[in-house]
Structure 1
Amino acid sequence: MDTFNQIAWLPLCGGLTVAGLVLAFLAFRRRGAAPGLRTTAWALLPMAAYLTGALPALWTIGSTLVGFVTGLVFNPAVWAGVVVAGLSAVLFVVSGVMRGRKLRKKETPAEPAVQPGASRPAVGATPPQNTGTKPKPAQKAERRPAAADDDFSDIEELLKRRGIS
């Protein structure tokens, strides 16, 4: 707090506000009303912070943040902690992969042998149930000449299968 009192805040905030208002005037002339008003709003903030007494709080927040960042960047113990945290994350991922492989190896001997070329059902998939009825034979779609076949034939076939057409 001692450094805060050594700075002449009124001239500093006043100077920042005046400089911002000059830039706002230039923004009005070159780019129009909306950018000029936005620049004016930003220019008034330093004087508003001084007049409301918010500068000590902003100074404390800024100095604490700068102290934290410099302590984080220049402290070897902090970097060692970052390395340990990274190692921990890598070990979690590796152990998860190893656990998944172990679980898959346990399931493999209980499964029946699959012939080469045959597809295996997906994990967690329910086997097809035999209801005792024969499946209906697929209806033959109308054959059109190759020249008349267009992109809508697939859609028409799908609609016919669903009974929508």
Structure 2
Amino acid sequence: MIAETVCSAVSAAGLGIAVVTAYRRRFLSAARIAAYALVPVGLVMTGVVGWLADTAFSPTAWAGFGVLAAAWLLFAGTRAVERRRAGAGSEQGGASSGTGRARPGATAPESPAPALGQGKGRRPASSGDDFSDIEAILKKHGI
């Protein structure tokens, strides 16, 4: 009963603000405010507010939300462990070749190390080329 009264008061206040806005010749804003103001009354008329009020004060409903949260945590935890173990494989593929996949994962950090070394070797050559281009541009402008 209180929830319906509050929703009605909010709608009445919103419609009053819409009228004032329309009086100021801002009709598009007034229409938008009126639309927002009618939502609480619509929710009361459909019974959603009463259902939400009954649910909010129900210990059984809160226990149900707790069970849903626990289920979500289990799903998220198993997904995280599954991703950590076997990237994009199924549980059977991850279990049978879990050690095989761990080995490439162990060599993967070793493979970027030579690549970084090669990249360092290439950078001075490419940066030298870049600086020669910059020097040519500066000489062209007499700097």
Normalised by the shorter chain, which TM-score bucket?
Answer: 0.3 to 0.5
Which TM-score applies when normalising by structure 2? 0.42
Which TM-score applies when normalising by structure 1? 0.38
Greater relative contact order (CA < 8 Å, ≥ 6 in sequence) = 2
